[in-house]
Chains A and B, each alone.
Chain A
């Protein structure tokens, strides 16, 4: 069993305050008592009694506390477990019900003819009549559904078959909101002589469920996804994500939270697309026939990537494209942290957290940002007023520029 497993000892915390100093939510609001108090300090109480600390709702699960901790305490996971415990005896708000179950909405919309059109129209109407705000969802951040889901588009796609195969885990955001990222990923893999398999039975990774306290539902999803992934990883076929939060959930948070057969084995074969491609390069197997992209970009590293401890492979890849200039914004959390910034009462905090990033991007004068995370990209466009693309989209563009 991994030493990171869910047998978390809060006494590993030496109360050094490093997590508080690096918590972006703590910096943005005095209402949050901070990760040390919420996580390890109160965990000791929770072990003996049902202790409720109201400011727990302010934790965004962005994991900057975990990154700052010198003692390896998974502070944010302690917070999420405590949140789940809180909701064991209480009911979530309609807002949390909706934000936690984005997949339900996506499924419904993509099953209806012109569903996305009406859903997006509905959001406009909802905004106009103040319905969104009334249930506690900020109407300032635009969240639109794609006309055709990734799964549908993928089914129409004719791939070249290759002996090397990977399974793609699209996740809800790519499937329903931003299917182009998935399609670009498939194109990039095809350019590298890989055939992409997509399992229609994959369900939401559970990240939005976890942060809204639906731990049991999250576990159900974990069990489903784990079983499907195991079918492939047993055969030595890797599973790839293009969403760093999905990747973190599948690889790490499942193991921190649940005991399910196959978790550790799957995790060994789970890759973020950018890391997978960098590894191909190390084996001399990466197609480097990139055409030039004469353009300057600013990169934002999602917190849920940084915490995975393997650096920023997107930068290593994009630096290979001739003509392309990319700078690391290195400006901390964007604030959105999954569905946190969509909550009406957290919207201002999320915007304060992201302010440094927005300013860095604006000052740089770039017209496009690059980021591996879907909701980060939404937040960047919202806060900095520039387009934001996934690294896969630029790689595809570079391959096509060569043709």
Chain B
């Protein structure tokens, strides 16, 4: 059972992408995962490159690649692998019945719950804005008691955005949820998962919504990676829905995670939950096994290759300590400014990236970790995702793009 071709450490987007690619290549794969990760609470969009290093919007992600710094992960992954990764992912989503839309040649600007626009590259079909852009008038649908999506705020700001300056009409739906804790988008999505929720939703809107119209809505059209809820509601109301980006819990990220898990399990990948990987067993630059530590004892997992997709500071793949940042599994060298005071740009909202975001592991073009001189440190360990150095995903909007492409490249290198 513990004999594997590939062990992926981490069950986030980069880890699951790597697992899918390796399994498709016929490898026996086990994922050691800890927590549900950022993936399940985030937006589920695949941002590739939204802004260049000066903070200027990038119109075409592919063209923008030439502007990134030399040590940026995209320069290790290469354009060809990035293109293949996009292709692989789009096919995967189609196969799973929850297709994504987009291409490296076209930035997509999609509405957020604040009524601003966010640049991204690949979005689930439920976030496709083409119908909205072509409409002269659109609805914005909110829910009574939902604090994370205010139609008035969305409309007020969205009106000022290029391409979104149409007329908006606000509609409120009352899910009449029983009293209790604060209502989140997840609660609404669960309500619409139920037949009675969908029935009540349609009943409240039927008289108001004009046939053939478009409506912006929070990502509440069901919790599953499926278009069933959207299709049923669109058909019943003869209205096209466009889901927006919201604060966590972002349902679209939850759907993406479930879809990726469903997909890798179908490919025979084993996923071990709640596995805390604490160290690797390395002999002569070759990793033979990784060790998990539970409260009872350690357990050893052997494989021919390892993909370290353990996340950044949030996911525990990198740990910040006084004076240094460490990578806890293999104790790989971390490229970080030597003085800790230089880790942060104290002007939080300035037009510059945060140095701490760029802290991470340096790799070669096969995604193997390298030292400061570029020498490969581990022959059969490949790095993917947020623990890579050289990019500020938040500033440049490239998080899932780097995760997807580095996961792909790592799995092609094993």
Interface string of B31-44 (1 = CB under 8 A from A): 00011111011000
Interchain CA distance A2-B296 in the complex, whole Å: 9
**Cβ B294 vs Cβ A310 within 8 A:** yes
**Cβ B181 vs Cβ A30 within 8 A:** yes
| B248 within 8 A of partner (CB) | yes
Cβ contacts under 8 Å, A281 to chain B? 1
Interchain CA distance A34-B249 in the complex, whole Å: 13
Cβ contacts under 8 Å, B190 to chain A? 27
**Cβ A30 vs Cβ B179 within 8 A:** yes
| B2 within 8 A of partner (CB) | yes
Cβ-neighbour of B35 out of A26, A70, A308 (below 8 A): A70
Q: Which residue of A lies closest to B181 (CB)?
A: A33
Q: How far in angstroms is the closest Cβ of chain B from A237?
A: 16
**Cβ B36 vs Cβ A70 within 8 A:** yes
Cβ contacts under 8 Å, A278 to chain B? 1
Cβ contacts under 8 Å, B41 to chain A? 16-18, 21
| A200 within 8 A of partner (CB) | no
**Cβ A70 vs Cβ B37 within 8 A:** yes
| B56 within 8 A of partner (CB) | no
Interface string of A54-96 (1 = CB under 8 A from B): 0100000000001111111000000000000000000000000
Interface size class of B (residues with CB under 8 A): 35 or more
**Cβ A252 vs Cβ B296 within 8 A:** yes
**Cβ B186 vs Cβ A21 within 8 A:** yes
Q: Which residue of B lies closest to A306 (CB)?
A: B273
**Cβ B2 vs Cβ A282 within 8 A:** yes
- A residues 19-57 touching B (CB-CB < 8 Å): 20-22, 26-27, 29-34, 37, 55
**Cβ B249 vs Cβ A21 within 8 A:** yes
Cβ contacts under 8 Å, A309 to chain B? 272-276, 292, 294
| B64 within 8 A of partner (CB) | no
Cβ-neighbour of A310 out of B180, B272, B314, B316 (below 8 A): B272
Interchain CA distance A302-B299 in the complex, whole Å: 20
| B178 within 8 A of partner (CB) | yes
| A270 within 8 A of partner (CB) | yes
Cβ-neighbour of B274 out of A16, A33, A256, A307 (below 8 A): A307
**Cβ B36 vs Cβ A18 within 8 A:** yes
Interface size class of A (residues with CB under 8 A): 35 or more
Interface string of A1-12 (1 = CB under 8 A from B): 010100000000
| A316 within 8 A of partner (CB) | yes
Cβ-neighbour of A308 out of B34, B40, B274 (below 8 A): B274
Interface string of A298-322 (1 = CB under 8 A from B): 0000000011111101001000000
Most buried by A among B1, B249, B275: B1
Interchain CA distance A275-B272 in the complex, whole Å: 13
Interchain CA distance A69-B314 in the complex, whole Å: 11
Cβ-neighbour of B178 out of A30, A67, A71, A308 (below 8 A): A30
- B residues 137-157 touching A (CB-CB < 8 Å): none
Residues of A within 8 A of B (CB): 2, 4, 14, 16-18, 20-22, 26-27, 29-34, 37, 55, 66-72, 251-252, 255-256, 267-268, 270, 278, 281-282, 306-311, 313, 316, 328, 330
* 11 residue pairs bridging A and B, Cβ less than 8 Å apart: A14-B314, A17-B184, A18-B40, A20-B186, A55-B181, A70-B36, A255-B295, A308-B294, A309-B274, A310-B299, A311-B275
Given contacts A311-B30, A313-B1, 13 further A-B contacts (CB under 8 A): A18-B41, A22-B36, A26-B181, A30-B187, A55-B181, A70-B36, A70-B311, A70-B315, A252-B295, A268-B297, A306-B273, A308-B274, A310-B272
